[in-house]
């Protein structure tokens, strides 16, 4: 086999990876061992941090089939490396049990082929393994999933069909020791350890001790939070992870086993009183009411029915394959709670286990939490680049120190210590702690306003959001729907709309009977619960729902499972029943309808139906409700009113949600038993159209104001909903997402059919301002705001695209080059499935938008996780998938989150700039002093690093967010013209004034090379100061700390740190002004006063500790003047860069107009001059035949 082979595992999936095979090489291992010893263990650390280097340094390439180690690389944008050891599983010692084929187990006619179940072929494969591989199977584990070697595809595979492990989602809580080692081996802490050792050898014990204390506090707090998260996740997963379950064996025997022993193919009995599902299973008998909030965030109980029979004919068995997504209405997912079960004729409620352990839906959710994708953000990439620049600067200082020391004949030991010391000065050890301070404070402020965050690093990213997607129902609009009225149909004509449905006239009408029976409501502990829409509909008619008890259901096979009846006051006593053949005396005392069979709502079919029977009637009735277009297509054409389309459009344009009802009498030959086995299609056809139910979905009170704030801040808003297109467009207009004068272009994409290529039909939805001619839409009036972020251009937006989920899928597949253009103006996406919402987020991110997503948790999990900033309005466990969760279910949390994100981002910039300046100022101070073989004293370092730097860093991060969102956007990275110019200008200013002080002091008439008997203070008559320092004369200053240059540089640099802190503490427009940050103001004033005081009025004890020498009073005043001029220049330059940097810098550097970096901005500029865009009304865009190669398309105008 080719030794350079590369395989792909999990192809086409989110966790797709390349895999390479390696074998251990003894000679390479020996060389690496020698390198580890020579480098003092540093090489070992390097190989620990870099898995790719580790494998390549110790192994040689080998065929994947025979390798000992595999190297894995993700195929996403992060290209992360992992390595795993190949292990061998012996089939002799490992009991392989393969469940019997499904056809033996399914005795009730529900013979659907399960994709996930083992077959004879698998058993044959196992026997093949035992012959060819000496009863051994090779596998490796990555991210809690085992991958087995598959001989037929010559690659590693899940091979769930072959071998099943224990059914458990094991979240191991690592021991404190393991976590400690992992945390301590972080490159940052290793650098700190190196610094501490170095300072200790140079007798800087105090500073070394301070850094050790800081590191210990940091490590302990980090360990605590990491372990707490592990414990929380473990507890969440461990709850009900091991329970006793009943399983059907051969000859219908019931055996009780632990849930950990379940394997796919087992038939599990669901207990009467419900359970928490320990695996994914598909129902084959009975019905269940399930709470799926753990997975979807939707707290409404869902009714699960048994798997339908795809074909009465046995040949049809292979026609349909079971899929958990397609058949989710019949699947009980792991982690969800079965509240109630229902069964008939003494049969048990049974389900076949299809997935176990980490393969289940809950397992996949836990894996996504355990192994999250890294957040890729420009700030962090730039921060590493900036650190590399500092390392380069440190390298220059390192070389300079060595050369300078050799020229001055300094001892070798001193040269090594001082040259390495310059590196620890340039790369500040406190940098990571300083960078996270702003995020920690922002997280605390978010918590105060009810927004909880599980991924703090994303707070900074939220500061960059320039597009937010909103779910509609429950997010932009109220959660529930109100019944506005009904519009019945008689003789294929619409009657006038009626508001009150609860009246005597309608009580026995088929319309009300349909409203009473066609729903998925159930009683849980005596309370009616189910879909909010069904609840509103049922409450509107005022009927009563009664369910048969478990005893009745088990005893009688023909008992009506659920009965509905009107309240007595609505039943006129003298009126005969609907069945006119019956005599009056035969009329039953009560009017009841029993629900015989239910076909639950399917989002794919967009309808639900029931078979019901009025008590005493011989024939059964079929009732159906659903999307009006779908219901009308299943009705007899003569029963559908001619003006159906116009009436429907009128309602949907006003933002109403419309549901259509239909009915038909079933043949008398259809018995109860036949109905239980009949297919859905046999019932749902040839119906009589009965009319429309009009539901009103009110906008939340705060929605328009919040969207207006976002628009003012140049943040695009997009609606992603499962509702109908016209309703969504209407809501978008009502809430201000689409302005009254804007055009809405509906893209209706059709897939290839009968040899014809895919095409898009463009329709212009009616707006308030009618266009007399298609060319009235000016292609020049494209939103310039996408190119120039100014508020005036907001009014330039002229058109928006709207499409449904089906069209979106067709466009993604067949019109790939149109996707970016549609993303630029797509505002309404209707009838979107959960996975399509995720695809939309990805498509928007592909054109460089920073995308936020706000949803109520139901069906939004994938999109919330994929977005740069996902905020869930649901407090349920599904919010585990979302980085942010809002306590208040209102979209007002979105601008709050963006404001805090912007404040945290600007804080990060300020802190980074300040820390960079701090390291350069200190680096230059030390470099200047090294030139005279001096240095800063231990307590001088301690005073600067602890008293000044730490206090300033942790208080300058406290500025709260500015009270409103502004149109201006913060920079996304550190490598930008204005920001670099700001840092460089401050570096030059600080170096200039420090050099001025250093060289000017040497020009003073009183200056001499300092020695213990120097007496420069006599020039000012400061006898007291001189007298107080007599004791020092006996002490020898080995490091030459005490001298005039040191004192001058120390005072000037101490003030420079504070000057730079004030210059960089930005306020408006993203943060509150720094004078409102009282801790910062107090700290800076206190430090200014203290340094000023010890400079102008020296205190002997302080000077002795800080190793400051006596200088004349006149020189102290001169230093004060230098500091004041430095402060004036620094603050003036920084203000100028802030005010005119953006416009003047490109001009000053002679740059021509640059191409925008973001793809969407570049695209917007291109579309400004594209005469063919936007598409004209009533035109069609067809995909070319070679769509698979390049996805190109052409525009054909239909005349």
CB-based contact 362:295 (threshold 8 Å): yes
**HSE of 894, CA atoms in CB hemisphere, 13 A:** 34
Buried-state track 1142-1164, b at ≥16 Cβ within 10 A, e below 16 = eeebeeeeeeeeeeeebebbbbb
β-sheet with 155-157: strand ranges across: 87-90, 136-142, 145-150, 155-157
- Angle between the N-to-C axes of helices 893-930 and 977-1002, in degrees from 0 to 180, rounded to the nearest 10: 30
The CA distance from 228 to 222, in Å, is: 10
The phi and psi torsions of 159 (rounded to 5 degrees) equal 45, 45
DSSP per position, 825-893: HEEEEES--HHHHHHHHHHHHHTT--EEEEE-STTTHHHHHHSSEEEES--SGGGGGSSEEESS-STTH
Residue 471 designated active-site:
yes
Neighbours of 21 (CB within 10 A): 25
β-sheet bridge partners, residue 322: 114
Distance CA 1002, CA 1020 (A): 18
C-alpha 189/C-alpha 184 separation (Å) is 6
Catalytic residue among 471, 534, 621, 860: 471
Residue 25 near residue 33, CB atoms below 8 Å: no
Select from 809, 649, 837, 830 the least CA-distant residue to 732. Answer: 830
d(CA 1115, CA 704) in angstroms, rounded, equals: 64
* Contact criterion met (CB below 8 Å) for 54 and 71: no
Distance separating alpha carbons of residues 890 and 478, to the nearest angstrom: 10
Q: How would DSSP label each residue in 298-345?
A: --S-EEE-PPP-S-SSGGGGGG-EE-TTTTGGGEE-TT-EEEEEE--T
Please give the full DSSP string across 57-76, using - where no structure is assigned.
HHEEE--GGG-SEEEEEE-S
The DSSP secondary structure of 617-686, one letter per residue, reads -SS-EEEEEE-HHHHHHTB-GGGS-TTHHHHHHHHHHTTEEEEEEEEEEPPTT--HHHHHH--HHHHSSS
For residue 694, is the peptide bond before it cis, meaning its omega torsion is within 30 degrees of 0?
A: no
* Residue 1001 neighbours by CB under 8 Å, 6+ apart: 1007, 1044, 1045, 1048, 1111, 1115
* CA pair distance 85, 247, nearest whole angstrom: 36
Distance in angstroms (rounded) separating the CA atoms of residues 60 and 26: 10
| Sequence-separated (6 or more) residues with CB below 8 Å from residue 591 | 507, 508, 565, 566, 571, 577, 614, 615
DSSP per position, 471-538: -IIIIIB-SS-EEEEEEEEETTEEPPPBS---STTTTTSHHHHHHHHSS--EEETTEEES-HHHHHHH
Round to whole Å and give the CA distance between 453 and 610: 44
Listing DSSP states for 565-605 in one string gives: E--GGGS-TTS--S-TTS-GGGS-SS--EEEEEEEEEETTT
Provide the pairing of β-strand 113-114 with 321-322.
Answer: parallel
Please answer whether residues 908 and 458 qualify as being in contact, where contact means their C-beta atoms are separated by less than 8 angstroms: no
Q: Which residues are catalytic?
A: 471
């Amino acid at each position: 086999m080719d030794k350079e082979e590369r395989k792909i595992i999990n192809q086409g999936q989110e966790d797709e990876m390349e895999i390479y095979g390696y074998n251990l090489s003894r000679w390479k291992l020996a060389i690496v061992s020698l390198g580890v010893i020579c480098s003092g263990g540093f090489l070992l650390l390097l190989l620990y941090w870099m898995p790719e280097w580790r494998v390549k340094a110790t192994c040689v390439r080998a065929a994947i089939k025979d390798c000992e180690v595999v190297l894995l690389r993700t195929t996403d944008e992060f290209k992360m490396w992992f390595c795993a050891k190949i292990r061998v599983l012996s089939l002799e010692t490992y009991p392989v049990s393969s469940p019997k084929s499904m056809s033996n187990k399914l005795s009730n006619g529900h013979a659907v082929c399960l994709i996930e179940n083992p077959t004879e072929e698998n058993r044959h494969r196992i026997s093949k393994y035992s012959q060819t591989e000496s009863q051994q199977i090779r596998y490796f584990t990555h991210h809690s999933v085992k991958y087995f070697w598959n001989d037929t595809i010559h690659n590693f595979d899940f091979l769930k069909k072959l071998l099943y492990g224990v059914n458990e989602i094991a979240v191991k809580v690592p021991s404190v020791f393991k976590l400690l080692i992992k945390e301590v081996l972080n490159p940052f802490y290793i650098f700190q350890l190196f610094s501490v050792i170095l300072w200790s050898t140079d007798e800087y014990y105090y500073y070394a001790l301070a850094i050790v204390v800081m590191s210990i506090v940091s490590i302990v707090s980090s360990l605590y939070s990491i372990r707490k998260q592990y414990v929380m996740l473990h507890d969440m997963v461990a709850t009900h992870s091991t329970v006793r379950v009943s399983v059907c064996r051969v000859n219908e025997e019931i055996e009780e086993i632990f849930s950990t022993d379940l394997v796919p193919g087992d038939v599990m009995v669901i207990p009467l009183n419900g359970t928490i599902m320990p695996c994914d299973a598909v129902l084959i008998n009975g019905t269940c009411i399930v709470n799926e909030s753990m997975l979807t965030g939707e707290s409404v109980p869902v009714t699960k029915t048994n798997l339908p029979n795809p074909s009465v004919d046995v040949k049809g068995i292979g026609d349909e394959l079971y899929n958990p997504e397609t058949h989710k209405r019949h699947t009980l997912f792991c982690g969800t709670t079965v509240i109630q079960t229902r069964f008939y004729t003494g049969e048990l409620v049974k389900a076949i286990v299809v997935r176990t352990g980490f393969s289940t839906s809950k397992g996949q959710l836990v894996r996504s939490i355990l192994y999250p994708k890294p957040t890729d953000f420009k700030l962090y990439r730039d921060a590493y680049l900036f650190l590399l620049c500092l390392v380069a600067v440190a390298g220059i200082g390192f070389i300079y120190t060595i050369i300078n020391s050799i020229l001055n004949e300094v001892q070798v030991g001193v040269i090594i210590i001082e040259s390495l010391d310059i590196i620890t000065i340039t790369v500040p050890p406190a940098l990571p702690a300083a960078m996270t301070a702003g995020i920690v404070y922002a997280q605390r402020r978010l918590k105060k306003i009810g927004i909880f965050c599980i991924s703090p690093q994303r707070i900074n990213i939220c500061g960059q959001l320039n597009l937010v997607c909103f779910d509609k129902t429950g997010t932009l609009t109220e959660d529930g729907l109100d019944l506005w009225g009904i519009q019945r149909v008689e003789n294929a004509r619409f009657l006038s709309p009626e508001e009150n449905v609860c009246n005597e006239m309608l009580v026995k009408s088929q319309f009300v009977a349909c409203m009473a029976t066609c729903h998925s409501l159930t009683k849980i502990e005596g309370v009616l619960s189910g879909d909010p829409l069904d609840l509103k509909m049922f409450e509107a008619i005022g009927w009563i729902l009664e369910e048969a008890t478990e005893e009745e259901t088990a005893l009688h096979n023909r008992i009506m499972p659920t009965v509905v009846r009107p309240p007595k006051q609505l039943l006129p006593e003298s009126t005969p029943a609907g069945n006119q053949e019956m005599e009056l005396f035969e009329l039953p005392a009560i009017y009841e309808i029993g629900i015989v069979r239910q076909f639950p709502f399917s989002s794919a079919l967009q309808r639900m139906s029931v078979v019901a029977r009025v008590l005493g009637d011989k024939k059964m009735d079929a009732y159906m409700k659903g999307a009006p277009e779908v219901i009308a297509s299943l009705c007899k054409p003569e029963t559908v009113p001619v003006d159906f389309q116009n009436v429907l459009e009128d309602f949907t344009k006003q933002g109403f949600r419309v549901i259509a009802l239909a009915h038909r009498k079933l043949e008398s030959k259809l018995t109860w038993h036949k109905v239980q086995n009949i297919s859905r299609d046999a019932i749902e056809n040839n119906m009589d159209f009965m009319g429309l139910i009009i539901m009103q979905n009110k906008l939340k009170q705060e929605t328009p104001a919040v969207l207006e704030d976002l628009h003012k801040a140049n943040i695009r808003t997009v609606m992603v909903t499962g509702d109908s297109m016209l309703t969504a467009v209407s809501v978008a207009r009502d809430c201000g997402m689409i302005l009254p004068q804007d055009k809405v272009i509906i893209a209706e994409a059709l897939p290839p059919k009968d040899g014809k290529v895919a095409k898009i039909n463009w329709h212009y939805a009616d707006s308030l301002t009618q266009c007399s001619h298609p060319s009235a839409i000016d292609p020049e009036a494209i939103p310039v705001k996408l190119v120039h972020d100014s508020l005036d251009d907001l009014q330039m937006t002229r058109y928006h695209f709207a499409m449904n989920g089906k069209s979106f899928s067709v466009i993604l597949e067949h019109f790939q080059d149109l996707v970016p253009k549609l993303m630029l103006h797509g505002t309404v996406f209707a009838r979107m499935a959960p996975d399509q919402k995720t695809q939309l987020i990805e498509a928007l991110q592909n054109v460089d938008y920073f995308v936020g997503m706000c949803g109520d948790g139901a069906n939004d999990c994938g999109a919330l996780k994929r977005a740069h900033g996902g905020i869930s309005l649901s407090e349920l466990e599904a919010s585990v998938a979302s980085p942010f969760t809002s306590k208040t279910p209102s979209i007002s949390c979105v601008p709050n989150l963006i404001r805090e994100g912007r404040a945290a981002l600007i804080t990060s910039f300020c802190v980074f700039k300040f820390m960079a300046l701090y390291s350069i100022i200190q680096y230059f101070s030390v470099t200047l002093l090294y030139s005279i073989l001096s240095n800063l004293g231990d307590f001088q370092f301690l005073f600067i690093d602890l008293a000044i730097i730490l206090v300033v860093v942790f208080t300058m991060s406290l500025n709260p967010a500015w009270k409103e969102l502004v149109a201006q956007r913060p920079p996304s990275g550190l490598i930008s013209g204005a920001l670099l110019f700001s840092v460089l200008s401050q570096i030059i200013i600080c170096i200039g004034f420090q050099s001025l002080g250093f060289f000017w002091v040497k020009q003073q008439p009183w200056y001499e090379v300092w020695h213990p008997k120097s007496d420069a203070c006599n020039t000012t008559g400061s006898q007291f100061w001189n007298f107080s320092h007599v004791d020092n004369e006996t002490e020898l200053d080995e490091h030459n700390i005490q001298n005039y240059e040191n004192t001058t540089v120390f005072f000037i640099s101490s003030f420079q740190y504070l000057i730079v802190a004030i210059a960089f503490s930005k306020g408006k427009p993203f943060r509150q002004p720094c004078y409102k940050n009282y801790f910062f103001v107090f700290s800076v004033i206190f430090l200014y006063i203290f340094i000023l005081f010890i400079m102008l009025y020296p205190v002997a004890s302080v000077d002795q500790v800080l190793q400051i020498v006596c200088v004349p009073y006149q020189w102290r005043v001169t230093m004060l003047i230098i500091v004041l001029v430095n402060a004036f220049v620094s603050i003036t330059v920084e203000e100028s860069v802030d005010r005119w940097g953006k416009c003047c810098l490109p001009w000053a550097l002679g740059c021509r107009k640059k191409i925008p970096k973001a793809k969407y901005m570049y695209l917007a500029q291109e579309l400004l001059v594209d005469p063919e865009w936007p598409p004209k009304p009533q035109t069609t865009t067809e995909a070319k035949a070679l769509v698979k190669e390049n996805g190109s398309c052409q525009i054909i105008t239909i005349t």
